[in-house]
Amino acid sequence: MNAETIHSERARAETPACQLLERQDADYRGWWWLGPPRDPWLETGQGMAISADLVVRDAWQAAGRPAVSPFGLLPAEGEGAPPGAVLFWPKSHALGEWWLLWLCATLPEGTRLQLVGENQGGIKRVLKVLAALGLGCRKRDSARRCSLFETRLGRVAIDPDAAWTTFEAKLGEERLALASHPGVFGHGKLDDGTRLLLETLAGALPGDVLGDVFCDVLDMGCGDGILAAWLARRGARVTAVDVNAFAVEATRRTLAANALAGEALSGETLESDVYSALAGREFDAIVSNPPFHQERAIDYGPSARLIQEAPAHLRAGGQLLLVANAFLPYPDLLERAFGGFEILADDRRFRVYRAIKC
């Protein structure tokens, strides 16, 4: 089967980067696709997806295609190595650099690598990044305001684990050590909205959280784990979830760094597309600083699901507490889901909302 036949049997590409790839004469059978977007051309094609995004992996697997997280994937050698790989350059350049280091450590020297992305997303920066790693590069094509580059992998002296960092968050007299990785929300700093939520939580959560009786709390979109760690330190049994595998790993490391790891203290940390991994479970409180971006695009979908489905995951009297940019359209969603809400804090940039299940 030649490349032309393969292309004719596939769905058409919808995203600009995939439309650029679709017109190539390359035979992508058996290739790895790293950090891919949702696109029917990819999901009905060849090769394996490697993604930290649970939504992407679920879509590939639903289509009968292999898809795995980069965590736990062993170095590929011999027959297990793909003939090539395509890296979709992410909005976070630091994350793109991590992917390059990970590829160099995981795949054999000389493996073909293509790098593709939108020009406004910084794809042209890969020329300097590859040069700094001692890897040659050539431009293969450009179209749809995207560019495609090609290189071959080589060994570099930098361990991809060096991308993990730890920083200290100061909350009044309290200190928390936070693990951080490129691509995780608030990488390397405490987000102002999260700070406002933390300052508000102490007076808003049930008394059990600050006492000796465990209270079950869901940290939705756990990021680097600061909310989970703050809550666990106060006696809550926290279930922390995120759709991003890097965030889940960061939260686990944050809990361990603050001596809060272990089921007795912190509950569990797992990947979940909003409530997808929590069927039938209820909590005393749900706390969140929900995202509203997917790469560079605004996407209210996950936040809307967080609010709309929250009552089904709260016990009677349970409450949803979330912080959001003041301009976001959450009041209507809260009104429809709960029949009412209150604003606990508002600094003109961010608002902390509370809604209680009757």
What pLDDT was estimated at residue 72?
A: 79
What separation, in Å, do the N-terminal and C-terminal C-alpha atoms of the chain show?
61
The set of residues, in sequence order, having a beta carbon less than 8 Å from that of 247 and lying 6+ positions away, is 184, 185, 221, 222, 223, 224
CATH superfamily ID and name for 3-159: Vaccinia Virus protein VP39 (3.40.50.150)
Judged on CB neighbours under 10 Å (0-12, 13-18, 19+), 10 is: middle
Tokens of residue 23, six digits: 């017109």
At residue 76, the pLDDT reads 87
Q: Is the pTM of this model over 0.85?
A: yes
Distance, in Å, from the CA atom of 235 to the CA atom of 253, rounded to the nearest integer, reads: 19
Chain region(s) in the chain for CATH 3.40.50.150: 3-159, 164-356
Q: Please state, in angstroms and rounded to a whole number, the distance separating the CA atoms of residues 317 and 176.
A: 30
* Burial class of 328 by CB neighbour count within 10 A (0 to 12, 13 to 18, 19+): middle
Distance CA 263, CA 169 (A): 24
Collapse the DSSP code of 275 into the 3-class scheme (helix H, G, I; strand E, B; otherwise coil) and give the result: coil
Parallel/antiparallel/unpaired status of strands 216-220 and 237-242: parallel
Q: What is the pLDDT along the chain (358 residues), one digit of tens a residue?
A: 444 444 446 799 999 999 999 999 989 999 999 999 999 999 999 999 999 999 999 999 999 999 999 997 888 888 889 999 999 999 999 999 999 999 999 999 999 999 999 999 899 999 999 999 999 999 999 999 999 999 999 999 999 999 999 999 999 899 999 999 999 988 888 999 999 999 999 888 766 555 555 689 999 999 999 999 999 998 899 999 999 999 999 999 999 999 998 754 557 999 999 999 999 999 999 999 997 645 455 567 899 999 999 999 999 999 999 999 988 889 999 999 999 999 999 999 999 999 999 9
Q: What is the CATH number of domain 164-356?
A: 3.40.50.150
d(CA 14, CA 242): 27
Q: Which long-range contacts (CB under 8 A, 24 or more apart) does 290-294 make?
A: 290/220, 290/221, 290/322, 290/324, 291/185, 291/221, 292/324, 292/325, 292/328
Residue 98: the pLDDT is 97
What confidence score (pLDDT) does residue 6 get? 44
Q: Is 304 helix (H, G, I), strand (E, B) or coil?
A: helix
Q: Per-residue DSSP letters for 175-237? A: EEEEEE-TTSTTTTS--HHHHHHHHHHTTTS-GGGGSSS--EEEEES-TTSHHHHHHHHTT-E
Radius of gyration of the chain (CA): 22
